């Protein structure tokens, strides 16, 4: 084959792609206007929505496959600027606000009105914190280490320093996450203000005991809630590095190991802008054996992160799954046969997590095969796990955005007079086209995940064709998952039966 100039090839490819885009409207956006998440009859059938979503993910992979310049990919991932250090007064204010919020929630939950939609505790926890603050975390940045009231309270208590192995830490955080999501699904617990506050206090006791025993590492590595926010925060454009805040592209931090837990041997700066003076992270320089142990522990923490990311993805899916009519049919059939309802939920929660974990590990193993590479499978698992986070975030946004926006006025009104709120509370009614925003969020999350995985693949594998081929199993899984999750989100919402 004759040698063609690379520039001409790029121009031809770009022109063809642009022409295709110009000629055909993007079906994903065109139909979004006719769908509502609350289930009025749509013009576009559910199966076509799912198919479109899967198709958009496939197309985004194909477009990513056209970007093969190592330098361009690295430059895009490294783009950013320092924003300066966080003022200590702001941190102090955040800590005070967190503790004040906690105290108010507990107080109002115990003595406030018993109607869930009129109780500040219920609204603040589900609408303000779990929906709103989480969305802020992955859209803007992770402020949880400052706002976390338990961390502030734990600072007043004596701190232990019992070492928790990374495996134990992962087991506790994953178990804690599954337990918390199970409690969230149990509607009597999540809606009754007194029961909810009881759960909050039980969690507070557990986490404060953990913080006292383990020390500061508890919130950094073990506590499930802090871990969720830390991982979601890595999607955001504003990142906390060793020397202040840094603004970069959303998702760029997912292509690197976390800046707040640098590799041993690197300084605690951003992995992208390392400190000019090198040096060991151990105060005494460390022996070779100690350094090797540090690296082993760091690697085990990254593997724990990968497992936790898969768990987080599963629980967001589970949250949506149990609100669908299809689940209701299945649950009624199972309970009718004689399966205890709670056991059914717990079993599905655990089995689903297992399926997701096995599926992810299998995809990593296949990736090594389609890429025809000698890179080890654990390496692939650890490097590509962060790319799953935007999927979870997109799903979270789709699931909670209309809930958040419609109840935000109620939250504001109840906050002004928590103990005797007005009888009728304002609720924002969203326009019919708003369901499309949720669908777009899911698709956007997947597209970002494809881009991040593409960048990581070019980092990990050699050449320019092999990284693309290594992505086939992940793309297949993502297309299937998008199809299923769009179907889930476009279903009318139903209360989970029996709980």
Q: Which residues bind other proteins (CB under 8 A)?
A: 1, 3-4, 6, 9, 13, 16-17, 20-21, 24-25, 27, 30-31, 43-45, 48, 51-52, 55, 58-59, 62-63, 65-66, 68, 70, 74, 78, 255-257, 263-265, 271-272, 274, 292, 295-296, 298-299, 368-369, 372-379, 383, 456, 459-460, 462-466, 468
Q: Considering the complex, what minimum distance in angstroms separates the CB of residue 489 from other proteins?
A: 19
- Whole-number Cα distances in Å, 223 to 15, 133, 242: 51, 17, 22
CA dihedral 192, 197, 199, 205 (to 10 degrees): -170
Do 258 and 234 touch, CB atoms closer than 8 A? yes
Task: Supply 111's token pair.
Answer: 């003595």
Q: Considering the complex, what minimum distance in angstroms separates the CB of residue 456 from other proteins?
A: 8
- Write the CB contacts of 243 (distance below 8 Å, at least 6 apart in sequence): 82, 85, 269
Task: Supply 261's token pair.
Answer: 């837990």
Strands across the sheet with 244-248, in order? 80-84, 244-248, 238-241
The string of DSSP letters for 147-179 reads H-HHHHHHTTSPP------HHHHHHHHHHHHHH
Nearer to other proteins, 217 or 386 (CB): 386
Task: Supply 386's token pair.
Answer: 């962060």
Do 388 and 310 touch, CB atoms closer than 8 A? yes
Q: Considering the complex, what minimum distance in angstroms separates the CB of residue 21 from other proteins?
A: 8
- Write the CB contacts of 418 (distance below 8 Å, at least 6 apart in sequence): 104, 108, 112, 120
- b/e burial code for range 57-88 (CB count within 10 A of at least 16 → b): bbbbbeebbeeeeeeebeebbbebeeeeeeee
Nearer to other proteins, 62 or 326 (CB): 62
Nearer to other proteins, 450 or 456 (CB): 456
Nearer to other proteins, 126 or 298 (CB): 298
Q: Considering the complex, what minimum distance in angstroms separates the CB of residue 4 from other proteins?
A: 7
Nearer to other proteins, 9 or 342 (CB): 9
Q: Considering the complex, what minimum distance in angstroms separates the CB of residue 213 from other proteins?
A: 30
Among residues 400, 394, 391, the alpha carbon closest in space to that of 430 is found at: 400
Stretch (H or E) spanning 238: strand 238-241
Nearer to other proteins, 35 or 272 (CB): 272
Do 117 and 123 touch, CB atoms closer than 8 A? yes
Nearer to other proteins, 272 or 449 (CB): 272
Q: Considering the complex, what minimum distance in angstroms separates the CB of residue 438 from other proteins?
A: 20
For residues 362 and 365, give the distance between their C-alpha atoms in angstroms, rounded to a whole number. 5
Q: Considering the complex, what minimum distance in angstroms separates the CB of residue 472 from other proteins?
A: 13
Nearer to other proteins, 142 or 270 (CB): 270
Do 162 and 156 touch, CB atoms closer than 8 A? no
Beta strand extents in 380-498 (DSSP E only) = none
Nearer to other proteins, 148 or 460 (CB): 460
Nearer to other proteins, 39 or 55 (CB): 55
For residues 107 and 350, give the distance between their C-alpha atoms in angstroms, rounded to a whole number. 34
Q: Considering the complex, what minimum distance in angstroms separates the CB of residue 145 from other proteins?
A: 22
Q: Considering the complex, what minimum distance in angstroms separates the CB of residue 80 from other proteins?
A: 13
Q: Considering the complex, what minimum distance in angstroms separates the CB of residue 483 from other proteins?
A: 13
Do 176 and 223 touch, CB atoms closer than 8 A? yes
Nearer to other proteins, 162 or 365 (CB): 365
Q: Considering the complex, what minimum distance in angstroms separates the CB of residue 299 from other proteins?
A: 6
């Amino acid at each position: 084959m004759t040698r063609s100039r690379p520039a001409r090839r790029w121009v031809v490819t770009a022109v063809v792609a642009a022409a295709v885009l110009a000629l055909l409207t993007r079906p994903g956006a065109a139909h979004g206007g006719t769908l509502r998440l609350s289930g009025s009859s749509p013009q576009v059938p559910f199966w076509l929505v799912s198919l479109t979503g899967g198709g958009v993910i496939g197309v985004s992979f194909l477009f990513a496959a056209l970007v093969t310049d190592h330098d361009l990919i690295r430059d895009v991932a490294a783009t950013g600027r320092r924003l300066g250090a966080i003022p200590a007064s702001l941190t102090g204010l955040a800590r005070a606000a967190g503790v004040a919020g906690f105290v108010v929630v507990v107080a109002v939950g115990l003595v406030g009105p018993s109607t869930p939609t009129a109780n500040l505790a219920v609204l603040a926890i589900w609408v303000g914190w779990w929906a709103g603050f989480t969305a802020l975390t992955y859209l803007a940045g992770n402020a949880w280490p400052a706002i976390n009231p338990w961390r502030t309270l734990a600072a007043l208590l004596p701190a232990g320093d019992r070492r928790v192995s990374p495996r134990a830490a992962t087991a506790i955080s994953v178990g804690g996450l599954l337990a918390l999501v199970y409690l969230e699904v149990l509607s009597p617990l999540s809606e009754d203000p007194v029961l909810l506050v009881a759960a909050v206090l039980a969690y507070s006791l557990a986490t404060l005991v953990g913080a006292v025993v383990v020390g500061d590492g508890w919130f950094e590595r073990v506590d499930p809630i802090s871990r969720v926010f830390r991982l979601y925060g890595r999607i955001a454009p504003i990142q906390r590095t060793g020397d202040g805040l840094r603004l970069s592209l959303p998702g760029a931090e997912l292509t690197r190991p976390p800046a707040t837990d640098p590799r041993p041997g690197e300084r605690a700066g951003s992995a992208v802008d390392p400190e000019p003076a090198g040096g060991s992270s151990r105060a005494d320089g460390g022996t070779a054996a100690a350094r090797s142990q540090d690296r082993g522990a760091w690697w085990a923490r990254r593997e724990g992160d990968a497992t936790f990311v898969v768990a987080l993805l599963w629980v967001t899916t589970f949250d949506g799954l149990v609100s669908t009519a299809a689940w209701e049919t299945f649950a009624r059939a199972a309970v009718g046969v004689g399966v205890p309802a709670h056991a059914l939920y717990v079993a599905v929660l655990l089995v689903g997590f297992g399926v997701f974990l096995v599926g992810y590990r299998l995809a990593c193993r296949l990736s090594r095969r389609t890429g025809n590479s000698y890179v080890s499978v654990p390496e692939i698992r650890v490097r590509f796990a962060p790319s799953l986070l935007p999927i979870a975030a997109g799903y979270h946004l789709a699931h909670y955005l209309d809930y958040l926006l419609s109840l935000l006025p109620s939250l504001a009104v109840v906050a002004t007079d928590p103990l005797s709120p007005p009888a009728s509370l304002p609720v924002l009614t969203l326009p019919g086209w708003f369901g499309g925003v949720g669908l777009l969020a899911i698709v956007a999350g997947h597209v970002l995940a494809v881009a991040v995985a593409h960048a990581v693949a070019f980092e990990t594998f050699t050449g320019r064709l092999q990284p693309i081929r290594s992505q086939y199993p992940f793309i297949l899984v993502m297309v299937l998952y998008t199809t299923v999750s769009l179907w889930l989100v476009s279903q009318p919402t139903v209360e989970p039966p029996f709980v």
